[in-house]
């Protein structure tokens, strides 16, 4: 194994191949606070890519309700149990992962620590939908403060990891990471369906096709990326929770790169299970109403800071404006700029792609209309 730098862990780690970062890295930010689990993203992906024989059960994009939603069943719990509790520490304000990654925990004879879902684990794609973390007593929803019964929606695609476990697991080298944009693909001409990648991917975002006996996965809609467009699940998100782009490493962060700003500068968007060690490239703004004991396990030790920054967004015009750019255009915004109450998204050459107001005008209407001499009642 080689030693590579994983900035999400704050340390070096062992990986099957030497560090080789792409020229630019496809990445995304999902705002969990805005997702309503309408599954439009799921269907956009499904109809575009996985409507063939053998792909029936595949959901390259899915939305699950946490804490009791999983696709496949217990995809995260199984691995967390295998890792058996790990710790982060903090030194000089920097978080360092003291535990073992799935590469460092690989048993003898294996390339990574992993497990294989069976057919039945894929049989309940929306299990746990809208299930609360705790019981809700009759009438409790009318009481303030509310009981601590929470859930939230977690939209998931392939994380197009910097250190993909699927790629490390494939003994044939049939999986590759594109040097031009960091998108991770299964070479469908070379794959022999050993399912090692299915076993190795902790996010379970590689799927075995029983009709072709090869494995398939999210391709980040790379034909659209090559045309400067965001993937289908982004463009069709009616909740406007997603933004796709390219992310630099922390030391090269650019404030005018929307993803760099959210991930590195504001630190409001966090990786999914960074402790697994893959340096995943889909970042989540954590749900602000969920006990952080849960979200810290899922998004790492930066949760407190991220929630604080997000809660302060009404007082932070830059952050608010950038969040307003989510879902404003199908084009990939490589740069952004706020100008007063307007925010602009631009391509890599600075050409404006979209311009939107980020604060809607507020009109206060008096209850009594003097002109028409009537009283109007606002309905809640």
Partner 1 sequence: MRFLTLAIILSLVFLISCRRTQVPTAEVNVAQVKEITLDPNAAVWDDVSLHISKMILQDLVEPRLMEPSTPEVQVKAITNGTEIAFRLEWIDETQNDLPGPKTFIDGCAVQLPAKVETNVPAPQMGEVGKTVEISYWRADWQAIVEGRTDSITSIYPNASIDHYPSEAKPLEKDPQAQGETALRYAPARALGNRRSGPRDQPVEDLIAEGPSTLSSAPNAVSKGKGVKTAKGWAVVISRPVPSGFSASTPSQIAFAVWEGSHTEVGARKMRTGWVILMMK
Contacting residues toward partner 1, per CB under 8 A: 49-56, 108-111, 116-119, 121-122, 169, 171-173, 188-196, 198, 207-214, 216
Of 33 and 62, which has the nearer Cβ to partner 1? 62
Residue 270 near residue 306 (C-beta atoms within 8 A): yes
Rounded to the nearest whole angstrom, what is the least distance from the CB of residue 47 to partner 1 in the complex? 8
d(CA 242, CA 29): 6
Q: Which is nearer to partner 1, 111 or 224 (CB)?
A: 111
- Sequence-separated (6 or more) residues with CB below 8 Å from residue 58: 46, 50, 207, 209, 216
Distance CA 233, CA 242 (A): 9
Tell me whether residue 197 or residue 282 sits nearer to partner 1 (CB atom). 197
Cα separations (Å) of 182 from 275, 278, 320?
A: 20, 13, 29
E strand or H helix that includes residue 244: strand 242-247
Q: Which two tokens stand for residue 66?
A: 């946490």
Q: How far is the CB of 236 from partner 1 (least distance, A)?
A: 18
Min dist. Cβ of residue 321 to partner 1 (A):
40
Complex with partner 1: residue 11 or 172, whichever CB lies closer: 172
DSSP state of 93: T
Place of tokens 């595949």: 58
CB of 369 to partner 1, least distance (A): 53
Nearer to partner 1 among residue 22 and residue 193 (C-beta): 193
| Residue 310: Cβ-neighbour burial (10 angstroms; 0-12, 13-18, 19+) | buried
Q: What is the C-alpha separation between 279 and 258, in angstroms, rounded? A: 19
Which ranges of 57-109 does DSSP label H, i.e. alpha helix? 75-83
Shortest Å, Cβ 52 to partner 1: 2
Measured between alpha carbons, how far is residue 178 from residues 21, 181, 200, 298 in Å? Answer: 10, 6, 19, 27
74 or 354: CB nearest partner 1:
74
Please tell me the distance from the alpha carbon of residue 368 to that of residue 378, in angstroms, as a whole number. 11
Q: Which residue, 66 or 111, has its beta carbon nearer to partner 1? A: 111
Provide the minimum distance between the beta carbon of 266 and partner 1 in the complex, in angstroms, as a whole number: 39
Minimum gap (Å) between residue 129 Cβ and partner 1: 20
Q: Which of residues 173 and 250 has its CB atom nearest to partner 1 in the complex?
A: 173
Q: How far is the CB of 171 from partner 1 (least distance, A)?
A: 5
């Amino acid at each position: 194994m080689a030693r590579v730098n994983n900035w999400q862990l704050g340390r070096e780690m062992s990986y099957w191949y030497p560090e080789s970062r792409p020229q630019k890295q496809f990445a995304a930010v999902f705002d969990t606070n805005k997702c309503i689990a309408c599954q439009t993203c799921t269907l956009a992906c499904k109809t575009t890519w996985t409507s063939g024989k053998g792909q029936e059960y595949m959901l390259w994009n899915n939305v699950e309700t946490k804490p009791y939603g999983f696709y496949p069943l217990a995809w995260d719990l199984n691995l967390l149990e295998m890792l058996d509790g790990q710790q982060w520490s903090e030194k000089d304000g920097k978080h360092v992962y003291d535990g073992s990654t799935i590469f460092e925990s690989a048993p003898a004879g294996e390339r990574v620590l992993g497990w294989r879902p069976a057919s039945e684990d894929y049989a309940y794609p929306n299990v746990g939908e809208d299930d609360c973390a705790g019981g809700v007593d009759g009438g409790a929803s009318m009481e303030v403060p509310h009981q601590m019964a929470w859930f939230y929606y977690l939209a998931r695609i392939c994380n197009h990891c910097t250190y993909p476990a699927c790629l490390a697991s494939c003994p044939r080298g049939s999986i590759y990471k594109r040097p031009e944009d960091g998108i991770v693909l299964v070479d469908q001409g070379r794959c022999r369906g050993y399912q090692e990648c299915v076993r190795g991917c902790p996010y379970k975002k590689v799927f075995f096709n029983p009709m072709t006996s090869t494995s398939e996965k999210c391709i980040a809609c790379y034909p659209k990326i090559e045309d400067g467009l965001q993937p289908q699940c982004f463009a069709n998100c009616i909740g406007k929770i997603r933004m796709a782009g390219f992310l630099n490493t922390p030391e090269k962060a650019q404030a005018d790169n929307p993803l760099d700003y959210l991930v590195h500068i504001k630190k409001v968007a966090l990786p999914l299970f960074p402790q697994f060690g893959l340096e995943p490239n889909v970042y989540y703004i954590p749900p602000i109403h969920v006990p952080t004991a849960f979200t810290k396990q899922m998004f790492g030790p930066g949760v407190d800071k991220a929630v604080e920054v997000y809660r302060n967004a009404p007082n932070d015009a830059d952050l608010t404006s950038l969040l307003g750019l989510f879902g404003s255009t199908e084009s990939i915004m490589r740069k952004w700029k706020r100008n007063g109450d307007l925010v602009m998204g631009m391509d890599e050459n600075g050409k404006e792609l979209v311009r939107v107001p980020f604060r809607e005008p507020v009109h206060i209407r008096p209850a009594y209309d003097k002109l028409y001499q009537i009283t109007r009642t606002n309905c809640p």
